[in-house]
């Protein structure tokens, strides 16, 4: 036979090897109660998925809104799926699936085997999208379902009209195998040994839904009313026979006339019957002349079964075992028939499983199903003639409506004397007062609770500032004494007589800056000086009348304790630098404002030089360098401030200001001498509080460089070289 091209084989319904994929559409657990033949459909789908897994056909799975409808059914193992994608769109063809299609079958996907729910919604829309993109689609009918039979059948009709092949799971598997000598046939054989489960619709797929419904109605009508019985009945001179005359047509007469014309009456009592079996059963009553008499009470019965049942129910003795009893295992009640025991269990004991309780019924009615419960509640609402005009709630009495109305009118509501809460009735108020007297109320909001632990958790989460104060002056100090105190006392002892601090660390007083954390320093390692904006006043601004902490800290570290390193550390989103940046407009720098604000006066006096240099750089787009002359021409350095434009303007100002403080530190004569002798070294750090990244100023690269695995060795070598 001549070779057939892939395009020709696709047209006749073949499934080309290596160019076919399996698509499972929304076969999820929450759909189980609503879908026709769902368990049977899942069984067929399971066989299909397992077979295609063996044949290495790629699987794509989607799940419609899994947060509400759950995940795919547990019976089907989809771990080997190329992707399992959640969606809200009805069609499976969403961006994630489109990307998967590009990689399936090495980008040569030609055919899709599609199944799932619902046939007339998600499956149909997926098929339309696939065909529109030039992909052939095979619909697996016995692995696809809908909520109604009509929707399912009509969907299959429409899918055939648009060019889909409507097939079955077994047909697909055999098409994929193609030959009994297929190398994986023996591995698949156990799966196809048993035939696929009938789903009730495949045999009639050639007919339209309306044709099937008409045919089904006529069939039921003929069998129940107009068919000829298998034999003729003749008892007590009453003969009857029902036959369907040859010239009788279903559409000639109304159904009611046909039924009435075939009714037969009992000649003894005149009772009418439409079915022959009912009349036959009735005639036995008149013909049965033998009476079965109860020896205990004298009642008579027409049959021995009736008498036996009567004796077992009313006259059974403890030693009589002729009629077995069915005992309830929960309450020890006995019944003569098993069906009675089942009814008893359902009515008396299984009601406890109900989850929906009607609060109106007395005693309370319970329901296992939500829809039945809603219908029941609706009956109550229709019986309540009094309606609230504001919220449309129904009430059975005017007094209940009046109590409810108080919830909408604060002026008539009853208020608790201990809190501001209001109630619509005195009963609710009385039940609230005991709780109110013992509960704990948050001073910062309306939250209240009964336990101290709950209030602590609330304060910690919602009001961290208040919680911090409580911790500092209460719980934290107690916790410190219990846990860290012993360990730290030992550290204090080691440095008490001979402390050897190695650095003076100038940084901002911002509460988000924790220098001991990111420098990993311990007790006695360094002096920490904190102020607004990590500013160090220039030596020209020092005097008897303007002495500040910063120069004193420099002398204490350099002269008294022989500290070797002076470090200035700025940070991102510095509130002091944000305020300094606002001085550009000149609004905050008039004398009256400075006299009233110590913070603004501090920034204006010691930060103005940083702002001036920043404005000069801003004009040139931060592409020109700045020169910082320090203690001599050999110690001055050049710096670029964020030429790559990675940071905000205020962060750029913060970096420039950090470098400016190195120049201020070097302006003191005792620091100059220590630097010239190589005894003291200056460093600039900058900390990004939002990312945790630390930057160190590199004199060689003339900018702040992030400390990382790639840069740490280089930066350490530069610092060692600078020290030498």
Find the Cα–Cα–Cα–Cα dihedral 63, 67, 68, 71, rounded to 10°: 40
Q: Is 508 annotated as a binding residue?
A: yes
Cα separation, 135 vs 101, whole angstroms: 11
The annotation status of 122 as a binding-site residue, yes or no, is no
376 is in an annotated binding site: no
Distance between CA 591 and CA 607 in Å, rounded?
16
Place of tokens 């598997």: 173
- 168-171 CB contacts, 8 Å cutoff, 24+ apart: 168/44, 168/140, 168/141, 168/142, 168/196, 168/202, 169/44, 169/45, 169/47, 169/48, 169/115, 169/140, 169/142, 169/143, 169/196, 170/195, 170/196
Taking the CB of residue 685, how many other CB atoms lie within 10 A of it? 21
Beta bridge partners of 214: none
* Cβ-Cβ contacts under 8 Å for 451 (sequence gap 6 or more): 440
What are the start-end ranges of the H helices in 202-303?
Answer: 209-221, 255-261, 276-287
Can you count the helices (H) and strands (E) in the chain?
A: 28, 30
Distance separating alpha carbons of residues 613 and 581, to the nearest angstrom: 12
Range list of H helices, 556-665: 575-582, 591-596, 598-619, 649-665
Q: How many residues in total does the chain contain?
A: 724
577, with CB counted inside 10 A (0-12, 13-18, 19+), is buried
List the one residue out of 635, 454, 606, 592 whose CA is nearest residue 540.
Answer: 606
Residues contacting residue 315 through CB under 8 Å, at least 6 positions apart: 294, 296, 297
Structure tokens at 459: 């304060």
Rounded CA gap, 519 and 507, in Å?
12
Nearest to 153 by CA among 46, 270, 36: 36
Q: Residue 165 forms beta bridges with which residues? A: 138
Instruction: Count Cβ atoms within 10 A of the Cβ of residue 212 and give its class: 0-12 exposed, 13-18 middle, 19 or more buried.
Output: middle
**Taking the mean position of all CA atoms in its chain, how far away is CA 320?**
63
C-beta atoms surrounding 465 within 10 Å: 10
Q: What is the maximal distance between C-alpha atoms in the chain? A: 142
| C-alpha–C-alpha distance, residues 385 and 121, integer Å | 42
Residue 277 vs residues 94, 241, 255, 283, 569: alpha-carbon distances, Å: 60, 12, 20, 10, 102
Residue 343 to residue 537: CA distance in whole angstroms: 93
Q: Which of 570, 585, 675 is nearest to 631 (CA)?
A: 675
Among the listed residues 421, 386, 388, the one whose alpha carbon sits nearest the alpha carbon of residue 405: 388
Take residue 292 and report the two structure tokens written for it.
Answer: 């079965």
Binding-site members are: 508, 510, 571, 574
The annotated binding site for Zn(2+) is made up of 508, 510, 571, 574
């Amino acid at each position: 036979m001549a070779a057939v091209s892939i395009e020709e084989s696709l047209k006749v319904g073949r499934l080309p090897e290596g160019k076919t994929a399996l698509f499972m559409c929304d076969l999820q657990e929450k759909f189980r109660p609503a879908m026709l033949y769902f368990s049977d459909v899942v069984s067929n789908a399971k066989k299909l998925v397992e077979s295609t897994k063996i044949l290495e056909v790629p699987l794509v799975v989607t799940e419609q809104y899994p947060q509400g409808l759950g995940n795919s059914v547990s019976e089907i193992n989809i771990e080997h799926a190329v992707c399992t994608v959640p969606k809200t769109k009805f069609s499976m063809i969403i961006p994630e699936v489109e990307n998967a299609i590009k990689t399936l079958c090495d980008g040569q996907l030609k055919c899709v085997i599609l199944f799932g729910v619902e046939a007339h919604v998600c499956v149909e829309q997926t098929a339309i999208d696939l065909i529109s993109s030039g992909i052939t689609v095979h619909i697996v009918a016995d692995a696809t379902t809908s909520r109604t039979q009509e929707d399912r059948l009509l969907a299959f009709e429409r899918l055939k009209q648009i060019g889909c092949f409507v097939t079955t799971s077994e047909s697909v598997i055999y098409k994929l195998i193609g030959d009994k000598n297929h190398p994986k046939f023996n591995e698949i054989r156990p799966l196809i040994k048993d035939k696929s489960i009938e789903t009730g619709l495949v045999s009639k797929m050639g007919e339209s839904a309306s044709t099937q419904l008409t045919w089904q109605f006529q069939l039921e009508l003929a069998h129940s009313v107009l068919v000829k019985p298998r034999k003729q009945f003749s008892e007590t001179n009453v003969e009857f026979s029902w036959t369907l005359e040859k010239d009788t047509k279903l559409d000639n007469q109304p159904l009611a006339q046909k039924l009435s014309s075939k009714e037969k009456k009992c000649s003894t009592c005149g009772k009418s019957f439409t079915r022959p079996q009912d009349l036959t059963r009735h005639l036995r009553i008149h013909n049965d002349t033998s009476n079965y008499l109860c020896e205990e009470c004298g009642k008579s019965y027409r049959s021995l079964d009736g008498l036996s049942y009567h004796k077992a129910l009313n006259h059974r003795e403890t030693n009589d075992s002729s009629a077995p009893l069915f005992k309830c295992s929960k309450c020890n009640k006995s019944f003569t028939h098993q069906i009675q025991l089942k009814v008893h269990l359902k009515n008396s004991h299984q009601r406890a499983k109900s989850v929906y309780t009607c609060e109106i019924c007395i005693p309370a009615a319970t329901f296992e199903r939500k829809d039945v419960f809603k219908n029941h509640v609706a009956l109550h609402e229709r019986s309540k003639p009094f309606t609230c005009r504001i919220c449309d709630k129904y009430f059975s009495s005017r007094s209940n409506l009046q109590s409810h109305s108080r919830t909408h009118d604060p002026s008539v509501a009853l208020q608790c004397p201990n809190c501001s809460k209001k109630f619509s009735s005195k009963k609710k108020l009385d039940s609230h007062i005991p709780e109110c007297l013992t509960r704990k109320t948050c001073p910062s909001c309306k939250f209240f609770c009964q336990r101290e632990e709950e209030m602590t958790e609330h304060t910690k989460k919602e009001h961290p500032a208040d919680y911090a104060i409580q911790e500092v002056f209460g719980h934290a100090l107690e916790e410190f004494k219990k846990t860290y105190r012993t360990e730290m006392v030992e550290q204090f002892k080691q440095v008490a007589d001979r402390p050897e601090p190695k650095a003076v660390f100038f940084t901002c007083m911002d509460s988000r800056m924790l220098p001991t954390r990111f420098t990993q320093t311990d007790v006695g390692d360094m002096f920490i000086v904190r102020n607004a904006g990590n500013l160090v006043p220039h030596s020209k601004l020092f005097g008897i009348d303007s002495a500040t902490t910063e120069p004193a800290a420099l002398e204490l570290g350099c002269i008294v304790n022989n500290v070797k390193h002076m470090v200035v550390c700025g940070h991102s989103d510095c509130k002091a630098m944000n305020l300094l940046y606002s001085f550009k407009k000149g609004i905050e720098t008039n004398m009256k404002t400075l006299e009233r604000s110590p913070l603004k006066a501090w920034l204006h006096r010691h930060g103005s030089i940083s702002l001036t240099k920043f404005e000069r750089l801003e004009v040139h787009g931060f592409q020109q360098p700045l020169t910082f002359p320090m203690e001599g021409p050999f110690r001055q350095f050049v710096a670029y401030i964020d030429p790559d434009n990675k940071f905000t303007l205020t962060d750029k100002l913060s970096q420039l200001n950090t470098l400016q403080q190195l120049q201020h530190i070097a302006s003191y004569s005792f620091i100059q001498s220590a630097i010239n002798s190589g005894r003291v070294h200056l460093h600039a750090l900058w900390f990004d509080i939002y990312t945790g990244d630390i930057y160190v100023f590199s004199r060689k690269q003339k900018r702040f460089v992030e400390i990382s695995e790639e840069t740490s060795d280089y930066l350490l070598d530069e610092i060692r070289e600078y020290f030498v």
